[in-house]
């Protein structure tokens, strides 16, 4: 406890920091007692990372975030090593009318001052009660002044609405083969019952088709990872980016960072390697390894080996293990743990066979080493192609047969395109497949089109596929992200020879902004943030070149409950009180498709403001939880399930009050399929509400008649 207190001091001393503490010092705790926990004899030696050493200063302890309308007690500690006790004025300033001071000590709406005596060599506590009036980040500015010394600090406090956050992303493909003009009129479809708070609207123009990946690498790496397949998300975006940069000869500061991410992902992936060279899903390895996952990892490692040092024997051993699973007819079946049903459904082994062929053929050295395996698998695919009726199987087989340059590869692509849906809607139209695995099918169709060099077929697929990206650049699910980003990366390399020289003009209301793409630099993505009140804007392109237009916006909407694909129930247990709150959460999968019996699920438990969880917070009643993860400075807990089925499972979670917040708003629990985020459920709940008078100090109670 004491050592954590020391860390808080170091963290909070850095001026205008966003660092949030997870422990507070005890009020009136002697300063020498804190210093004694250090290995240094000089008490100020433990603050060597602070910008300056001071005999008098303030430390603030703020929650990670609060909801609008909640009353929060801002707790401050004043430290003094002056020679005597000293009378000090402590003032909280109200900037831009962002907060309301709850006490009635004064009618002044711009600041509030409290006078205290700060003892020497001790910590003196003081607090202010505030209520946030605006959403977003609000400024908390504090100043302490006495006759000898002064100090001030400024923290940012996050304020969110009580509703759930929704995202929307729109995409258009820019193709100016000659000097010409393209014009788009865009509307932001924000529902009327959306929260009246600020709306964020961003417009991006990506002239190289890959700028979104470089821009959002950090966001992609923040996706929760709970198993081997999820760890691959540290590989995918960076490998694709590195491949593009290598193919096009471009140099960017992101290269070294991407290499570091790939290297880290490689080391993590080895934790899931079985002794026979195959890969499984859990650490430590257990059960039967998966042919699909081993092929997925081997493919990623083979590509990554072009950019970082990877033990070639690991890749070769993985492919050798896979080759041992080939059937006499050349096809493959998976008898290991089921991770991704569309590729492991043994009633049709053609998708897995095509996946393995493509995984081998995408690396020249591996392709020559395992040529016999590829030939047998190719015969299996080509011999059965005409009898295939599953669009995902057809798409994967088409790409695999394009990679081996099969003589009927164009015929296979034509069949795939015949079964698609084409809508004109935009300049080039969009092409997609009305199937459950539509992103994967489109990605493989795009890869096949580029392999065959059919540009006319590729562009409408590019337009639709780009539209399926989240604003952060990723797709829903590991396999979906893997193949979709690979396809878009291949697209960027294919179209790289195109010269980009066009002007972009965005207009809304009576305002406009303009940028020249040619002067931006080859790897720059143009980003413009629109005012939150905008609901429609126009964008015009004049010149020659290629690119992707993307617009994204988000809003909060206060919906109490929603379920699609899951049953979810949240109960606040009777054992809860103001300081310790206990929840029981029960859930199960509700199949949307008859052949899908279970899913990989992530449960996100968001706590009422002021509460936190520790590492022992979760009690697994049903004993099916695979992993737990504390996030957002311990204010939320993520719980992972592998193969959540139709039987109801339950767990309980205990949270402890860390910050004094009254009139708190409801919080919620959400669950979604880690492969398909259209399957989800969420439910709000009311915790034990702390009475307002309970968080006041003696001076505040007098002013409010508590």
CATH number at residue 645: 2.60.40.690
Query: What predicted TM-score, i.e. pTM, was given to this entire model?
Result: 0.54
Residue 446 maps to a domain: no
What letters, b where the CB count within 10 A reaches 16 and e where it falls short, cover 281-317? bbbebeeebbbbbbbbbbbbbbbbbebbebeeebbbb
Specify the pLDDT at position 282.
Answer: 74
Residue 155's domain comprises: 56-160
CB distance 497 to 251 below 8 Å: no
Specify the pLDDT at position 37.
Answer: 34
Mean pLDDT score, 125-151:
87
Residue appearing with tokens 């991407």: 258
Among 367, 266, 273, 363, CA closest to 309 = 266
Residue 93 maps to a domain: yes
Specify the pLDDT at position 17.
Answer: 31
Please give the structure tokens belonging to residue 79. Answer: 């430290």
Among 61, 247, 92, CA closest to 157 = 61
Q: Residue 704 — very low, low, confident or very high, per pLDDT cuts 50/70/90?
A: low
Mean pLDDT score, 37-58:
46
Residue partners of 346: CB distance under 8 A and separation at least 6: 333, 334
Specify the pLDDT at position 223.
Answer: 40
| End residue of a domain, out of 129, 160, 191 | 160
Residue 303 maps to a domain: no
CB distance 450 to 490 below 8 Å: yes
Q: Which phi and psi (to 5°) does residue 663 adopt?
A: 55, 35
pLDDT tens digits, one per residue of 60-116: 878 878 887 788 888 888 988 888 999 999 999 888 888 888 876 677 878 889 999
What letters, b where the CB count within 10 A reaches 16 and e where it falls short, cover 429-456? ebbbbebbbbbbbbbbbbbbbbbbebee
Please give the structure tokens belonging to residue 497. Answer: 């020879």
Residue 185 has pLDDT above 70, yes or no: yes
Mean pLDDT score, 605-611:
88
As a whole number, the mean pLDDT across the chain is: 78
pLDDT tens digits, one per residue of 478-510: 667 778 878 877 887 777 656 788 899 999 987
C-alpha 558: how far from chain center? 22
Residue appearing with tokens 């303009």: 514
Residue 489 maps to a domain: no
Specify the pLDDT at position 445.
Answer: 95
Residue 465 has pLDDT above 70, yes or no: yes
CB distance 340 to 643 below 8 Å: no
Residue partners of 147: CB distance under 8 A and separation at least 6: 86, 87
For the ranges 109-118, 226-235, 322-331, 681-690, the one whose mean pLDDT is highest: 322-331
pLDDT tens digits, one per residue of 201-252: 889 887 765 555 555 544 443 443 445 556 665 666 677 767 766 665 665 6
- CATH code where residue 146 lies: 2.60.40.10
Mean pLDDT score, 653-680:
82
Sheet of strand 136-145: strand arrangement? 65-67, 150-160, 136-145, 86-93, 111-118
| End residue of a domain, out of 133, 160, 187 | 160
Whole-Å CA distances, 498 to 42, 209, 271, 492, 547? 64, 11, 43, 10, 10
Mean pLDDT score, 676-702:
72
Q: Can you spell out the DSSP letters for 81-146?
A: -SSS-EEEEEEEE--TT-EEE-S-S---SSEEEEEEEE-TTEEEEEEEEEEE-SSEEEEEEEEEE-
pLDDT tens digits, one per residue of 342-365: 777 756 679 999 999 999 999 888
Termini Cα distance of the chain: 33
pLDDT tens digits, one per residue of 504-547: 999 998 777 877 776 555 556 788 888 888 889 999 999 988 88
Residue 194 maps to a domain: no
Which of 143-157, 190-204, 362-376, 537-551 shows the lowest mean pLDDT across its residues?
Answer: 190-204
Residue 659 maps to a domain: yes
| End residue of a domain, out of 126, 142, 160 | 160
Total tally of structural domains belonging to the chain: 2
Q: Which phi and psi (to 5°) does residue 299 adopt?
A: -65, -45
Residue partners of 40: CB distance under 8 A and separation at least 6: 46
Q: Residue 594 — very low, low, confident or very high, per pLDDT cuts 50/70/90?
A: low
Contacts 24+ apart (CB under 8 A), 433-436: 433/391, 433/395, 435/391, 435/392, 436/593
Residue 354 maps to a domain: no
pLDDT tens digits, one per residue of 386-439: 989 889 999 999 999 999 999 999 999 999 999 998 877 555 678 889 887 888
For the ranges 19-28, 135-144, 306-315, 677-686, the one whose mean pLDDT is highest: 306-315
Residue 695 has pLDDT above 70, yes or no: no
Q: Which phi and psi (to 5°) does residue 381 adopt?
A: -70, -50
Q: Which phi and psi (to 5°) does residue 545 adopt?
A: 140, -175
CA 320 to CA 298: how far, in whole Å? 10
CB distance 267 to 235 below 8 Å: no
CA 496 to CA 379: how far, in whole Å? 34
Residue 419 maps to a domain: no
Q: Residue 458 — very low, low, confident or very high, per pLDDT cuts 50/70/90?
A: confident
């Amino acid at each position: 406890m004491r050592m954590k207190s020391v860390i808080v001091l170091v963290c909070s001393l850095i001026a205008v920091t966003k660092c949030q503490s997870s422990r507070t010092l005890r009020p009136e705790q002697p300063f020498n007692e804190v210093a004694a926990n250090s290995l240094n004899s000089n008490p100020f030696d433990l603050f060597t990372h602070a910008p300056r050493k001071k005999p008098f200063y303030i430390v603030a302890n703020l929650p990670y975030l609060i909801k609008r309308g909640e009353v929060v007690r801002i707790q401050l500690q004043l430290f003094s090593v002056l020679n005597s006790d000293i009378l000090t004025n402590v003032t909280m300033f109200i900037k831009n009318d962002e907060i309301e001071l709850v006490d009635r000590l004064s009618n002044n709406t711009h600041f509030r001052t409290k006078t205290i005596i700060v003892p020497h060599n001790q910590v003196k506590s003081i607090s202010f009660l505030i209520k946030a009036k605006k959403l977003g980040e609000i400024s908390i500015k504090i100043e302490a002044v006495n006759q000898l010394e002064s100090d001030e600090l400024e923290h940012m406090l996050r304020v969110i609405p009580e509703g759930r956050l929704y995202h929307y992303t729109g995409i258009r493909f820019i193709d100016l083969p000659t000097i010409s003009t393209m014009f788009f009129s865009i509307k932001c479809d924000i529902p009327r019952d959306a929260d009246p708070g600020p709306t964020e609207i961003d417009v991006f123009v990506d002239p190289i088709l890959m700028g979104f990946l470089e821009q959002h690498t950090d966001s992609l790496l923040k996706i929760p990872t709970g198993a081997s397949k999820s760890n691959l998300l540290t590989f995918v975006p960076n490998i694709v980016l590195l491949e593009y940069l290598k193919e096009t000869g471009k140099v960017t500061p992101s290269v070294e960072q991407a290499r570091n991410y790939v290297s880290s992902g490689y080391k993590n992936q080895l934790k899931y390697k079985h002794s026979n060279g195959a890969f499984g899903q859990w650490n430590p390895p257990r059960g039967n390894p998966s042919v699909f996952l081993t092929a997925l990892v081997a493919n990623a490692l083979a590509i990554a080996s072009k950019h970082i040092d990877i033990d070639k024997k690991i890749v070769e051993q993985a492919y050798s293990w896979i080759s041992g699973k080939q059937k006499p007819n050349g096809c493959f079946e998976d008898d290991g743990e089921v991770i991704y049903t569309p590729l492991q459904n043994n009633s049709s082994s053609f998708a897995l066979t095509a996946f393995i062929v493509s995984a081998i053929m995408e690396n020249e050295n591996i392709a020559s080493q395992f040529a016999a395996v590829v030939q047998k698998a190719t015969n299996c695919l080509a011999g059965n192609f005409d009898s295939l009726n599953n669009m995902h199987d057809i798409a994967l087989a088409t790409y695999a047969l394009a990679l081996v340059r099969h003589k009927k590869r164009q015929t296979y692509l034509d069949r795939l395109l015949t079964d698609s849906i084409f809508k004109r809607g935009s300049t080039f139209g969009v092409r997609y497949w009305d199937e459950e695995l539509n992103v994967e099918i489109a990605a493989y169709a795009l890869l096949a089109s580029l392999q065959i060099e059919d540009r006319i077929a590729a562009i409408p697929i590019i337009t639709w596929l780009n539209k399926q990206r989240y604003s952060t650049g990723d797709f829903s699910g590991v396999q979906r992200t893997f193949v979709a980003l690979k396809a878009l990366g291949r697209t960027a390399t294919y179209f790289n020879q195109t010269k980009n020289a066009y002007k972009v003009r965005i207009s809304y209301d009576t305002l406009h902004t303009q940028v020249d793409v040619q002067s931006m630099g080859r790897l720059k993505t143009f980003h413009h943030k629109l005012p939150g009140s905008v609901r429609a804007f126009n964008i015009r392109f004049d010149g020659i070149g290629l690119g992707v237009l993307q617009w994204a916006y988000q809003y909060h909407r206060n919906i109490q409950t929603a379920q699609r694909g899951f049953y979810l129930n949240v109960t606040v247990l009777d054992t809860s009180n103001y300081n310790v709150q206990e929840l029981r959460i029960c859930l199960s999968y509700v199949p949307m498709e008859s052949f899908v019996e279970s899913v990989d699920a992530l449960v996100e438990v968001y706590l009422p403001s002021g509460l936190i969880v520790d590492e022992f917070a979760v009690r697994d009643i049903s004993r099916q939880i695979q992993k737990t993860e504390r996030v957002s400075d311990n204010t939320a807990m993520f719980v992972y399930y592998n193969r959540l089925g139709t039987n109801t499972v339950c767990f309980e979670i205990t949270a402890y009050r860390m910050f004094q917040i009254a009139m708190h708003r409801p919080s919620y629990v959400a669950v979604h399929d880690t492969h398909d985020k259209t399957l989800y459920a969420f439910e709000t709940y009311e915790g034990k509400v702390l009475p307002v008078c309970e968080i006041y100090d003696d001076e505040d109670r007098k002013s409010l008649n508590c």
